Amino acid sequence: MCGITGYVGCRDASPILIEGLKKLEYRGYDSAGIALLNGSDMEVVKKKGRVNVLESELGKHPFCARLGISHTRWATHGAVTDQNAHPHVSSDGNFALVHNGIVENYEDIKKFCQSQGYTFKSQTDSEVLVNLIAYHYEKRTDPNLPNRFLEAVRKALVHVEGTYGIAVISRFHPDQIVAARKGSPLLIGIGNSERLVASDVLGFAGRANNVIYLEDEQIALVTKDNCDIVTICNKQIDFEVKSIDWDLENADMCGFSSYMEKEIFEQPKSIENAIRGRISSDASTAVLSGLNMTPTELRQIDRILFCACGTAWHACLVAEYLIEKYARIPVDVEYASEFRYRNIPVHKNTLVIVISQSGETIDTLEALRESKRKGFRTLAITNSVGSTISRESDGGLYQYAGKEVGVASTKAFTSQVTICLLLALYLARMRDMSFSDGKRIVEAIKSAPEAVAKTLELAPRIKEIAKKYAKYKDFLFLGRLCEFPLALEGALKLKEISYIHAEGYPAAEMKHGPIALVSPDCPSVIFATSDEIYSKLLSNAQEIKARNGKIIAITDNPEIFSASVDDIIALPRVDASIKHIVAAVPAQLFAYYVARELGCDVDKPRNLAKAVTVE
């Protein structure tokens, strides 16, 4: 939800911190700030707006420092103002802090700090942390303690309820950064006589090849050559250092005009990566290592529960159709945020599967933890190696889609759906699916990257259609069966990057209310690739046409629909098992081109962030 970077080393900290922040801007970009230490001199600059606004402000008063922290904000508590930007400085001026998360008991802490003489300048919850740390440093730690700074932070965090990823610096310790996490990701990068702190590896801006993943309720004392980690209960931690699998080519736009455009056009490759090494043509099934479940254990599963948020939740809905259709296993899909509190009665042989591109979405993470508390086997489908969700699930499948920087998820969605199809095939062939049916699906999956590449060739046509429809303020997206989730996803894409109201609906349900919205000012996008119900979808189109509604059809059967719709996006004909992968792409392109036509920032849409790590 916010991006944090920290640096301690031998180089000028400011440009390194700014470069890291720019790589993390997808996590939030309402405001940005930096705190630098040169000996006991502290410089804090923070501004509403993007990181480049901060950068130009910094240029007005250069400040040489070898240590600093910085932050790019997605506002939770407090409006988007310079004062509410991070870093926050304790009222005694001795500490500066950046925070990602939510302090749930911040009012109580604020009252306590005020009773101890500390004052506040911002409306944020985060500011209470820096004054609480200052209090514990001044009043609750032995001045002769060698790691007094670390101890003051630890003692303060004992009183904090909620989530945090923090980095703190002190004028009394110009060679130390203290970092801590609970619920919001935080990593420590190891360079040559320099250490970095960041919300994810991109924040290291290529300066570290090894990384320490902080776990929840761990606090680290970081210097340029060392790192000590203790738990909130003051237990020393022997941490693991992992190498970073840099895939830097994903960190640049490679000539595209935006990350979102690049990631849409990367889908043949990202789908290929999802499939690679996971198909057995000889056995006509999928080969899924990492599930950490034997075939016998998988055969005993008699129900699957999917949990996720946003686009990942739409992928779960596609998975429901695929697994029920091919493997005949009952599937339920829940919003992770709902599952956590609903206490759903769950069958004992239920497998819980969470899907999360970032692997850090707090609602999905807590649904995973609740499932494990209830003793269920859990799997995770994530795109972020080493993410919290991937580390806390019992097993799982990585998407290998490459870094998805655009806030609107595109390649991650088709990659998740591809992996769910592989899982459906694997489970089906373990049950009643025949060798020949398995072979058909194996061949279809192998053809998916090429089929998506062919679909991407429709981009110029889709761009024309998008220009024609960019003026409308309301849209209906309609689909049936496996394309109902695509209707939801297409509507989400359009609304989140062009700010146009759009809603997805089961096509047949339109008659039960939403048809009231149909008018010449409310176009409909209809997904129509399910052979068995072309005629039903044609009826839905004619019902809309009869009310002067405009229609865009995304279909692999243009002949049937051409007389009944205004515009057709004609898809390549493919096997039924991969139609939903192919049909997702035109809706992504439509949303993208509409947003570009309207001059919207497709990579950083207003009010959004890439990873929602606060509730």
Q: What is residue 156's three-state secondary structure? A: helix
Instruction: Report if residue 94 touches ligand AGP, rule: CB under 6 A.
Output: no
Which of 267, 358, 498, 613 lies at the binding interface for ligand AGP (CB under 6 A)? 358
Which of 85, 129, 312, 581 lies at the binding interface for ligand AGP (CB under 6 A)? 312
Instruction: Report if residue 311 touches ligand AGP, rule: CB under 6 A.
Output: yes
Cα 151-155-156 angle, rounded to 5 deg: 115
What DSSP line would sit under 69-129, residue for residue?
EEEEE--SSS-S-TTTSSPEE-TTSSEEEEEES-BTTHHHHHHHHHHTT----SS-STHHH
Residue 578 CB, shortest distance to ligand AGP, in Å, is 21
Instruction: Report if residue 310 touches ligand AGP, rule: CB under 6 A.
Output: yes
327 closest CA partner among 244, 234, 437: 437
Instruction: Report if residue 448 touches ligand AGP, rule: CB under 6 A.
Output: no
Are 308 and 485 a contacting pair, CB within 8 Å?
A: no
Which of 218, 250, 364, 414 lies at the binding interface for ligand AGP (CB under 6 A)? 364
Buried residues in 136-146 as b, exposed as e (16+ CB within 10 A): bbeeebeeeee
Instruction: Report if residue 409 touches ligand AGP, rule: CB under 6 A.
Output: yes
Residue 406 CB, shortest distance to ligand AGP, in Å, is 8
Total residues interacting with ligand AGP, rule: CB under 6 A: 15
Residue list 280-309, contact with ligand AGP (CB under 6 A): 309
Buried residues in 473-503 as b, exposed as e (16+ CB within 10 A): eebbbbbbbbbbbbbbbbbbbbbbbbebebb
Instruction: Report if residue 602 touches ligand AGP, rule: CB under 6 A.
Output: no
> Locate tokens 């300048």: which residue?
121
What DSSP line would sit under 483-521, residue for residue?
GHHHHHHHHHHHHHHH--EEEEEEGGGGGGTGGGG-BTT
Residue 476 CB, shortest distance to ligand AGP, in Å, is 19
The residue sitting closest to ligand AGP, measured at its beta carbon, is: 310
Residue list 411-430, contact with ligand AGP (CB under 6 A): none
User: 336 vs 451, which CB is nearer to ligand AGP?
Assistant: 336
Instruction: Report if residue 337 touches ligand AGP, rule: CB under 6 A.
Output: no
Residue list 489-528, contact with ligand AGP (CB under 6 A): 496
Residue 536 CB, shortest distance to ligand AGP, in Å, is 29
Are 402 and 251 a contacting pair, CB within 8 Å?
A: no
Instruction: Report if residue 408 touches ligand AGP, rule: CB under 6 A.
Output: yes
Report cis status (omega within 30 of 0) of the bond before 558: no
Query: Active site includes 420?
Result: no
Phi, psi of 175 (to 5 degrees): -115, 10
Instruction: Report if residue 612 touches ligand AGP, rule: CB under 6 A.
Output: yes
Residue 615 CB, shortest distance to ligand AGP, in Å, is 12
Cα dihedral 280, 283, 284, 289 sign: negative
d(CA 433, CA 284): 10
User: 126 vs 356, which CB is nearer to ligand AGP?
Assistant: 356
Query: Active site includes 2?
Result: yes
> Locate tokens 């802090």: which residue?
97
Residue 182 CB, shortest distance to ligand AGP, in Å, is 19
| Binding window for ligand AGP (CB under 6 A); candidates: 18-26, 401-409, 434-442, 544-552 | 401-409
Are 150 and 178 a contacting pair, CB within 8 Å?
A: yes
Interface residues with ligand AGP (CB under 6 A) are 309-312, 356-358, 361, 364, 407-409, 496, 611-612
Active site residue ranges? 2, 610
